[in-house]
Amino acid sequence: MTGSNVPSPLMPQSPSNMNLPSPAKTKSQSLAVRKSISRTSEPEQKRKPALAPEYDMAELFNEQTRSKYVKGLLLFLVLSLANTKVNVGEKLGSGTYADVFKGTLRSDPSKIFAIKKFKIDPNQLRDGINVDTIREIKYLQEISHPTIVALYDIFSSKDEQINMVIEFCPNGSLEDLLRDKAVQYGAAEIKAWMSMLCRAVYYCHSHFILHRDIKPGNLLIAANGEVKLADFGLARYFAEPGSPMTTNVVTLWYRSPELLFGSQHYGGCVDIWSCGVVMADLIMRRPFLPSIFDDKEITTGGEIAQIETICTALGTPNEDVWPGVSKLRGWFAPSKQLPPRDRIWFRQQFATVGPSGADLIANMLKFDPRKRATARSALEHEYWAAEPRPVPVDRLPKKGGGAKNAAAEQTKVPGELNERFKGVAKKLDFSAFK
């Protein structure tokens, strides 16, 4: 409606109040590393191939961009009597993937943001750049939405490492919040959070982008209590029909059955499954599908354990509820043969959010990805019109672990589980929680 103060679900988020380049402006530029890391004078034929066109990004590594910002390593350049009360340059988190600093705009120290400094992994380089880094920069440049963490700028530090200037989320993540028993919330708060998540996923899918790592730890809480989808290190475009994609994506506890059974052809349904698990987590205030295993073969053992966990909770998939499942390349007959759960079970298990909320979870957790809810159908579900109404953003709980916990998630390799949960699926980044 014209003149309404209620933002559209697809209204772009403008960073103009921070006097920073907007993601829309950044999108028109591409990122190109001025110097490839560890480049030698080896023969041309032995060098790594150049980046594919999809990775061709603009030159933003320049002194003008870099000089606008302040972080801990350059703290001495900005500290003065006028701004000693501003916590400039604090190192919020450190891990194997990145370091995260608290920073300010040099021209206006009251404007706070986060600086994510990526670390170099020689085993994951593509022409001198970590592939996950390329993905995260690429997709954050191309999207702008109130429920997605904003990318404001990119620059290189003097050690030639890539730095992202991103939105500062000082209240941790939903993972921290749901685990903090001192924080009280109910059905109305869950509806508000899930509305933000579903809008973010719909926006991504409408721009043909799969997130592929939705989990509570990647849902950061902004200063006003709004939830922001973050960490696009595993994101990619929807594949062309028939084109295979990797299955080793999505943190294990939030990974859909088709990925666990080795399907290389999938779409937005993998993100929707993750959304369903997140909603269940919020209701239960603990992980809904936490697989526990002890196996040196981490990937295989973890996937088998996760399938068994899903079967225990939701029943065992079969040809009746999921035609073609037995033809998937990773199919095996789970040891637990239980009938798939019906809607009565979902309504009993998730009574907190009422019958319509339980039905939405059931739709998002359908075994057959072809029958699973889409981002659009999830937003059109009757759950949103049912009572209770979602809590306004300014009344949502804001204590969610603080900026350091939010930063800790950003320092981890995409797809990793939080070490605070037992029975993890992949090698953990213990340094992120020092």
Active site members: 213
Task: Tell me if the bond preceding 122 is cis, omega within 30° of 0.
Answer: no
Quote the DSSP letter at residue 152: E
CB 264 within 8 A of CB 224: no
In the block, which residue shows the tokens 């809607």?
A: 343
The C-alpha atoms of residue 264 and residue 412 are separated, in whole angstroms, by: 25
The C-alpha atoms of residue 101 and residue 93 are separated, in whole angstroms, by: 7
Residues whose CB is less than 8 angstroms from the CB of residue 338 and which lie 6 or more positions away in sequence, other chains included: 311, 312, 315, 316
- Dihedral-angle region of residue 361 (phi above 0 means left; psi in -120 to 50 means alpha; beta otherwise): alpha
Query: Would you state the structure tokens that stand for residue 243, as one six-digit string?
Result: 């084109």
In the block, which residue shows the tokens 């604090």?
A: 90
Q: Phi and psi at residue 135, in whole multiples of 5°?
A: -60, -50
The C-alpha atoms of residue 61 and residue 29 are separated, in whole angstroms, by: 11
CB 281 within 8 A of CB 178: yes
Q: What are the Cα distances from residue 379, in Å, to 206, 212, 363?
A: 13, 19, 12
Quote the DSSP letter at residue 183: S
Burial of 180 (0-12, 13-18, 19+ CB in 10 A): middle
The CB-side HSE value for 163 (13 A sphere, CA atoms) comes to 24
Residues whose CB is less than 8 angstroms from the CB of residue 265 and which lie 6 or more positions away in sequence, other chains included: 239, 242, 243, 244, 245
CB 200 within 8 A of CB 267: no
